Amino acid sequence: MTNKELKLKSVLLRKNILKYIYKAKAGHTGGSLSCLDILNVLYNRVLNVDPNDFKNLNRDRYIQSKGHCVEALFVTLADRGFFPESDLETLCQYQSHYIGHPTKKVNGVEQNTGALGHGLPICVGEAIAAKLDNKTHRVFTLLGDGELPEGSNWEAFLAASHYKLDNLYAILDYNKQQITGNNSEVMNTDSVRQKLESFGWAVKEVDGHNLEALEEALNSGPLEVGKPSFIIAHTIKGKGVSYMEGNIKWHHGVPTPEQYELALSELNQVESSL
């Protein structure tokens, strides 16, 4: 896949996020648009996972700690061939496996998540297990900035560094907003870089919507041998739809028919300009 095709895929997947949230009349719109580029790069350039052999013990692991942005994960997995995209017609409906948070009932989902602050400790366990078995696969998690105040993350930051887990990569979807407002007002998470460095992690900051920059950060091995890697991906909540960008009401917002059409036309314009 060329870089241009990867960029086109980001647009297509954003349209799919909106399509299925619009149909389900539910979903985490702003956060899913925020982390979509990260997922696109992970599943199409970084992770060694096979849709037809997902349980392979040598696969790379990805656990989405910010489980509420499941729409971004589902559309990416469907596109990658883990299940037919048409399955998402049932998103969030009664008796559907495609519920509002990641579940292992869906092919390609590594772990049930939803309550925040769970993903990183599990990844620490997976990374320890990989080292114990001399396996070379890598372990990735995607953290939301709103979940950073969960104490379990900081327990895991300590443990990952203590056990020198350089096979572990935590990516922060740093859009600086959460359900109530800006991180800085809800609970200040400024100086994340310094905090993580002082916890013994190697840290890199990237533009979380620059696919090449994300790929380089995630694919060039640990940022530092002997340390876990922390990628601060600076993102924009609602990225790709002008009226959603940076507007907190789209955390959990569902577009009206007019808003949906407007969003699609904006994304179509981006698509044709590529």
Partner 1 sequence: MKTYTYTEKKDTRSGFGAGLAELGRTNPNVVALCADLIGSLKMEKFIEENPERFFQIGIAEANMMGIAAGLTIGGKIPFTGTFANFSTGRVYDQIRQSIAYSDKNVKICASHAGLTLGEDGATHQILEDIGLMKMLPGMTVINTCDYNQTKAATIAIAAHHGPVYLRFGRPVVPIFTPEDQKFEIGKAVMLTEGTDVTIVATGHLVWEALEASKVLFEKGISAEVINIHTIKPLDEEAILKSVAKTGCVVTAEEHNYLGGLGESVARVLALNNPTPQEFVATNDTFGESGTPAQLMNKYGLNSAAIVEKSLSVIKRK
Q: Which residues bind partner 1 (CB under 8 A)?
A: 57, 61, 104, 110-115, 117-118, 120-130, 132-133, 135, 151-152, 155-156, 158-159, 162-163
Cα–Cα distance, 211 to 238 (Å, whole number): 17
Could you tell me the smallest distance in angstroms from the CB atom of residue 45 to partner 1?
23
108 CB-near residues (< 8 Å, 6+ apart): 49, 51, 54, 77, 80, 82, 83
Q: Which is nearer to partner 1, 101 or 239 (CB)?
A: 101
Could you tell me which residues are beta bridge partners of residue 115? none
Could you tell me the smallest distance in angstroms from the CB atom of residue 57 to partner 1?
7
Could you tell me the smallest distance in angstroms from the CB atom of residue 92 to partner 1?
18
Q: Which is nearer to partner 1, 11 or 165 (CB)?
A: 165
Q: Which is nearer to partner 1, 30 or 102 (CB)?
A: 102
Q: Which is nearer to partner 1, 19 or 101 (CB)?
A: 101
Positive/negative CA dihedral, 210, 227, 112, 137: positive
Could you tell me the smallest distance in angstroms from the CB atom of residue 115 to partner 1?
5
DSSP result, 126-195: HHHHHHHTT----EEEEEEGGGTT-HHHHHHHHHHHHTT-TTEEEEEEE-SEETTEEHHHHS----HHHH
Q: Which is nearer to partner 1, 56 or 184 (CB)?
A: 56
Q: Which is nearer to partner 1, 25 or 162 (CB)?
A: 162
From the list 212, 207, 211, 217, the residue with the least C-alpha distance to 169 is 217
Could you tell me the smallest distance in angstroms from the CB atom of residue 56 to partner 1?
12
Could you tell me the smallest distance in angstroms from the CB atom of residue 141 to partner 1?
10
Cα–Cα distance, 156 to 161 (Å, whole number): 8
Distance in angstroms between the alpha carbons of the first and the last residue of the chain: 15
